[in-house]
Amino acid sequence: MASSAYPTDLTDATIALLKDLIRNACVNDLTADSGQEFRNADTLERFFADAGEAGIEVRAQRFEPHPGRVSIAFTIDGTDPAAEPLTLLGHTDVVPVDEAKWTTDPFGAEEIDGRIYGRGATDMLYITAAMAAAVRDVARSGTRPRGTLTFVGCADEEARGGLGAGWLAEHAPNAFSWRNCLSEEGGSHLPVADGSDALVVVVGEKGAGQRRLTIHGDAGHGSAPHGRDLAVAKIAEVARRVAAITPDVTRDEPWPGYVRAFRFDEATEQALLDGSDYSALGKLERYSHAMSHLTIAPTVLRAGGAINVLPSTAWLELDIRPLPGQTQEDIDALLTDALGDLAEEVEITHLITEDATLSPTSGPLYEAILATFDEFFPGVPVVPTIAAGGSDLRFGRRKGGVGYGFALHNRSETLGSVLDTLHSHDESVAVEDVELTARAYRSLVGRFVG
């Protein structure tokens, strides 16, 4: 059996793998030919090269729906077909960078003052590396788990998984189990008002309700606009009305439990529960608003081409994120109501639409998460949250499984500080958090699959 040339120690191996994944620069710019995650798939194959030396077979499967867009799965079959399986969904692509805004090499994986810098360090290559290291460590232990254990390095997560987990769920649904899945993010700390601690676990994520609003007007020469029905003026009014929409705050969990976990005074707590004032949450204000509301963000505006021509068509695109239980029909009704007397003139086109997904705060995998958190931070309460963005977990939930965001951070890393790092310039992760996450995954794997 070939040697992987990676350290055998769990945490050393995780750090070495993380640095290589960053250096591979699998940048996904949302086009089919970007990403080229085959580089990280090849690295993961080398990482697992010696995993079978103790006699435990690790089955590798590669999937390439488009040239270079490779996802890869490594599976250790369990000894008991009736035991609960576990699948760890890591993604291997990263978002683009504005190199001029970085003070370090975005693909250098430099370690400076206890942090590893590089695009994807937080989102989510440190978790991907920890997952891979935990599964490799199980194989090297020489003892097969009772339940089947799989690690998947997914391509294309940053473009909503059409060439990654989404493709796998549709075209290779039986390649591994979707019954119990873990992915990004979790294990950061809440800045509780009384100074005590609380840990975050992600139990769901918002959906997608992307829309294009199109309006028509009169064509004509730019030198004679008098009396024309101006498409640009109308789309500006459409944008103003859409931006003024104020959806109701949710009354459903996990929002109320999340608010109460901060232990604010009664007046502050009530202001948060009814959505009237988020300022007490500081860095978490924007995220918390998104967690408690359907959100509508105007992001793309198009009209015209030549400066001397009145365009006859203009459109506005909206990034809309519904909460669990909110339907696409609800979104259309909200938009129509806001448009008022313009509604009959506006064509509403559905773009990407996906319902929100939510897993229960109960069951074997959730209990294993709670027990693992308690091992590392004894007695600290765990607070369920919903991710404002998307992850590959939604595909498992839609196939009837459960999925949770799981990692682990040191006490100083709050939910706000972690969220601020995602997709940022000089993205980085604390070495301590890489080590904690690797140890936490190894512990949870042992606890859940035996």
Tens digits of per-residue pLDDT, 107-123? 999 999 999 999 999 99
Average pLDDT, the chain: 96
- The mean pLDDT value for 219-235 works out to 95
For residue 422, what pLDDT is reported?
A: 82
Distance CA 57, CA 74 (A): 10
Q: Is-cis flag, bond preceding 106, omega within 30?
A: no
Query: What confidence tens digit (pLDDT) does each residue in 240-296 have?
Result: 999 999 999 999 999 999 999 999 999 999 999 999 999 999 999 999 999 999 999
- Contact predicate 63/17, CB 8 Å: no
List of domains in the chain? 10-193+357-449 (3.40.630.10), 206-354 (3.30.70.360)
Distance CA 246, CA 259 (A): 20
For residue 289, what pLDDT is reported?
A: 95
Which residue in this structure is represented by tokens 């977990």?
393
Q: Is the pLDDT of residue 4 over 80?
A: no
Contacts of 64 (CB under 8 A, 6+ apart): 38, 70, 71
pLDDT band at 427 (very low <50, low <70, confident <90, very high): very high
For residue 317, what pLDDT is reported?
A: 98
SS3 of residue 408 by DSSP = coil
User: How many H helices and E strands in the chain?
Assistant: 13, 19
SS3 of residue 293 by DSSP = coil
Percent of the chain with pLDDT over 90: 94
- The mean pLDDT value for 127-148 works out to 97
For residue 45, what pLDDT is reported?
A: 97
pTM > 0.85:
yes
> 3-state SS of 384-406?
EEEECCCCCHHHHHHCCCEEEEC
For residue 421, what pLDDT is reported?
A: 85
For residue 423, what pLDDT is reported?
A: 87
Count of CB atoms situated within 10 Å of the CB of 301: 14
For residue 389, what pLDDT is reported?
A: 86
| 35, two tokens | 């990403």
DSSP 108-148: S--EETTEEESTTIIIIIHHHHHHHHHHHHHHHHT---SS-
Q: What is the DSSP letter of 382?
A: E
- The mean pLDDT value for 171-193 works out to 96
For residue 3, what pLDDT is reported?
A: 57
Percent of the chain with pLDDT over 70: 99
- The mean pLDDT value for 200-223 works out to 96
Q: Is the pLDDT of residue 64 over 50?
A: yes
pLDDT band at 72 (very low <50, low <70, confident <90, very high): very high
Distance CA 258, CA 218 (A): 51
Q: Is the pLDDT of residue 204 over 50?
A: yes
Give the C-alpha distances (Å, rounded to integers) separating 54 from 5, 26, 86, 360, 409.
Answer: 16, 32, 21, 37, 31
> Which residue type sits at 319?
D
- Contact predicate 152/40, CB 8 Å: no
B/e letters for 106-117, b = 16+ CB within 10 Å, e = fewer, are bbebeeeeebbb
pLDDT band at 20 (very low <50, low <70, confident <90, very high): very high
> Can you say whether residue 235 is alpha, beta or left, with left for phi > 0 and alpha for psi between -120 and 50 degrees?
alpha
Count of CB atoms situated within 10 Å of the CB of 149: 27
Question: How distant is the alpha carbon of residue 227 from its chain centre?
Answer: 49
Element (H, E) at 242: helix 231-243
Cα distance from N-terminal residue to C-terminal residue, the chain = 26
Q: Is the pLDDT of residue 2 over 80?
A: no
Q: Environment class of residue 335 by beta-carbon count within 10 Å: exposed (0-12), middle (13-18) or buried (19+)?
A: buried
Question: How distant is the alpha carbon of residue 183 from its chain centre?
Answer: 8
Q: Is the pLDDT of residue 80 over 70?
A: yes
For residue 433, what pLDDT is reported?
A: 97
Q: Is the pLDDT of residue 30 over 80?
A: yes
Q: Is the pLDDT of residue 152 over 60?
A: yes
| 438, two tokens | 């690797």
| 305, two tokens | 């081409």
- Contact predicate 243/237, CB 8 Å: no
